[in-house]
């Protein structure tokens, strides 16, 4: 019997589904060819697998296979979208719009572009984490070349209104990019209906392999251009050079296929587990939900707890539950979450936050156990804090 904590950090990464691994294995040892080697059967097998995977990913978002560019993950896809568009369109304008609550894989490239002379508008968000669409419309200028708004927030799970954002951008003839790393396979995405021009994707958030992602690039109405950020062998039509990792690509496509097949039932199941956990924690006073109460990923619960030290709470939970205080990509940073601060949280509450990411392999019994342990940990920490405060007051007197 395992003594490992219950894994509830599925926004950071997910365990690989065995069905995904099964699909990948033959491409490590049997069908191991390079799809660029078109003079023999090994290359043909790899090319066939690549073509099928590209078609599956395109179908998942309403695109065409030619519009899917494989990358090493969503971070690279974001960099290719932002820097690639900036370089390709700089003669038309040097203004980009994004949001304060974006992942660092958007914010940091934007800040880099600022050092090159581009101007970036960082939109604020409302207390529920949603952007003000009127504010977005007002921020667009004649020299705006790109708007980048993430589909689902990695910390608070908030789902932005992609269709409305896309309509505004299309009307203003500005390219619209969305980081959908947390959205693919969890919400329905349609690049035509939502008027999305570029979309970043990754596999490891939906029980697929790490190290593989993709960038959707619209090819018509309008045709999007990006400047390559990696030069080399000319793969992916020269947009992203490098030998394509067929096992990971096959796994990516299988993970997306499974997620979409099970999306409706899995969303309902995760919603029930999340609501159980939230209502259990609400029995305590001064527990705050971060982000929109309903317009969020079904498996996401992000809370701030008054009267406790955040690091102490995580320490108290670590034997029972593997959870996070924010973005796993920056959890080593002792600074409070930039996302929670953007919602208007105080630094104290931002420090005292916990993100629960419920996933495919979590059971009702596990969530019940985590709820009980979390309540006990919070009560214990609050009692300790009260005792410390009482002692301090007595010393002052």
Whichever domain contains 162, its CATH number is 3.40.640.10
Structure tokens at 371: 């709820």
**Sequence-separated (6 or more) residues with CB below 8 Å from residue 166:** 176, 194, 195, 196
Alpha helices, H only, 25-181: 26-29, 41-61, 74-89, 104-115, 133-139, 162-171
What is the pLDDT, as a whole number, of residue 311? Answer: 87
Residue spans of the chain under pLDDT 70: 1-2, 326-334, 386, 388-397
CB atoms within 10 A of CB 316: 19
Q: Which of 10, 110, 169, 329 is an active site residue?
A: 329
- 231 and 356 in a single domain? The answer is no
Q: Is 10 a catalytic residue?
A: no
Task: Please report which helix (H) or strand (E) contains residue 76, including its range.
Answer: helix 74-89
Q: What percent of the chain is modeled with pLDDT above 70?
A: 94
Position 112 in a domain: yes
Q: Which domain holds residue 350?
A: 6-13+263-381
Tell me the whole-structure pTM to 2 decimals: 0.95
Residue 364 neighbours by CB distance under 10 Å: 11
69-111 tens-digit pLDDT: 999 999 999 999 999 999 999 999 999 999 999 999 999 999 9
CB atoms within 10 A of CB 320: 18
Tell whether 397 is covered by a domain. no
Based on the domain organization, do 81 and 163 belong to the same domain?
A: yes
Q: Is residue 391 part of a domain?
A: no
Same domain assignment for residues 242 and 286: no
Strand partners, 184: 187
10 Å Cβ neighbour count for 288? 15
- Domain end: 260, 281, 296, which one? 260
Residue 271 sits in the same domain as residue 223: no
pLDDT at 339: 97
Cβ 356 vs Cβ 369: under 8 Å:
no
Rg of the chain on CA atoms, in Å: 22
pLDDT at 389: 62
């Amino acid at each position: 019997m395992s003594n490992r904590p219950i894994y509830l950090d599925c926004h950071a990464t997910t365990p690989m589904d065995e069905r995904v691994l099964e699909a990948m294995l033959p491409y490590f040892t049997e069908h191991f060819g390079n799809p660029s080697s078109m003079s023999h059967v090994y290359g043909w097998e790899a090319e066939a697998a690549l073509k099928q995977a590209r078609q599956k990913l395109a179908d998942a978002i309403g695109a065409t296979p030619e519009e899917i560019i494989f990358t090493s993950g969503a971070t690279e896809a974001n960099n290719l979208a932002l820097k690639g568009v900036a370089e390709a369109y700089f003669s038309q304008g040097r203004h980009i719009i994004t949001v304060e609550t974006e992942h660092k894989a958007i914010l940091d490239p934007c800040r880099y572009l600022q050092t090159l002379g581009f101007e970036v508008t960082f939109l604020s968000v409302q207390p529920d984490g949603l952007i003000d669409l009127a504010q977005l419309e007002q921020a667009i200028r004649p020299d705006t070349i790109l708007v980048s708004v993430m589909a689902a927030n990695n910390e608070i799970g908030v789902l932005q209104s992609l269709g409305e954002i896309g309509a505004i951008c299309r009307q203003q003839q500005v390219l619209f990019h969305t980081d959908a790393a947390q959205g693919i396979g969890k919400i329905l995405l349609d690049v035509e209906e939502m008027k999305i021009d570029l979309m970043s994707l990754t596999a490891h958030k939906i029980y697929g392999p790490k190290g593989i992602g993709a960038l959707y690039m619209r090819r018509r109405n309008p045709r999007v251009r990006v400047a390559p950020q990696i030069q080399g062998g000319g793969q992916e039509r020269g947009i992203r050079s490098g030998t394509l990792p067929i096992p990971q690509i096959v796994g990516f496509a299988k993970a997306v296929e499974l997620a979409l097949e099970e999306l409706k039932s899995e969303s309902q199941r995760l919603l029930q587990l999340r609501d159980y956990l939230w209502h259990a924690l609400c029995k305590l006073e001064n527990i705050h939900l971060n982000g929109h109460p309903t317009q969020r990923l079904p498996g996401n619960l992000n809370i701030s707890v008054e009267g406790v030290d955040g690091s102490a709470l995580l320490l108290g939970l670590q034997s029972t539950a593997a959870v996070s205080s924010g973005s796993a990509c920056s959890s080593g940073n002792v600074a409070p979450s930039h996302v929670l601060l953007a919602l208007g949280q105080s630094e104290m509450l931002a420090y005292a936050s916990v993100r629960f990411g419920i996933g495919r392999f979590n059971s009702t019994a596990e969530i019940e156990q985590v709820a009980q342990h979390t309540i006990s940990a919070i009560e214990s920490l609050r009692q300790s804090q009260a005792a410390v405060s009482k002692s301090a007051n007595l010393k002052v007197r």
